[in-house]
Copies of this chain bind each other. A is one copy, B any other.
Amino acid sequence: MTEDDVKQQLAEITTELFHAGVITATGGNISVRCATRHDAAWITPSQIFKRELTPDQMVMIGMDGKKIQGEFTPSVESVYHASILKHRTNINAVVHTHAPLSIVFGLCEMELIPITAEAIFMSNIPMIPWYLAGSNELAVAVEKEVSRTEARGAFLRNHGLITIGETLREAADATLAVEHTIKILVTCKLVGKEPTEILADAMKFLIDYEGGA
């Protein structure tokens, strides 16, 4: 993979997530580690309309979140993207969205019921209280809860969702899987019955399985 390939994939997946309704016009930002160096990443630019990003609009940042290369300003959330990529060397992509059902999940302090294997695998996503987007406080909280843990991402209360992955595809899929699971949980509320949980034995098996993978 060349840097051009990385930027192309970054543009395509941003567009995909826009059409999935989880990235909004100016809400959401995505980063992916560079192809040719480990200590830098490409990130989406600040402010520009997210549906139509092109590869040449992406910005290269260092492990401190500061711009190395590119015409535009990097996302205001660059610091925590960089923090995750710096501390977790097997993670290569970070996806932050304004995924609406994930926002509801945080706003309503919903319980993550182990309804499916996907829901169980989601249990390692902590909730971070609200801090201003782009603030140092938010970056510190993400470093504490995601960069220095084994968490699979974080819910940002009153704001959105972060997911991570070894590849950009995996990080984006994790966002979609979280939304899919919360959609099921919310629809169960509508039906007015508590959903059936996976059996306790099965849940233990799945957690162990995941832990050892």
User: Are A190 and B186 within 8 A (Cβ)?
Assistant: yes
Is A180 close to B, CB under 8 A?
yes
One complex includes copies of this chain to the number of 4
- Tell me if B159 and A116 are in contact (CB < 8 A): yes
Q: Which residues of the other chain, B, contact A130 by a CB distance below 8 angstroms?
A: 198-199, 202
Question: Does A191 lie at the interface of the complex (its beta carbon under 8 Å from any beta carbon of B)?
Answer: yes
Question: B98 touching A193 by the CB < 8 A rule?
Answer: no
Known: A158-B196, A188-B108. A180 touches B98 (CB 8 A): yes
A133 in the interface (beta carbon within 8 A): yes
Contact A186:B196 (CB < 8 A) given known A98-B180, A133-B117, A158-B116: no
The answer to whether A104 and B49 have CB atoms under 8 Å apart is no
Of A103, A177, A180, most B-chain CB atoms within 10 Å: A103
**Which of A23-31, A80-88, A142-150 participates in binding chain B?**
A23-31
Contact indicator A25/B173 (Cβ below 8 Å): yes
Instruction: Give A61 to B26 CA distance when docked, in angstroms.
Output: 31
Say yes or no: A157 contacts B107, CB within 8 Å: no
Q: A196, B25: Cβ atoms under 8 Å?
A: no
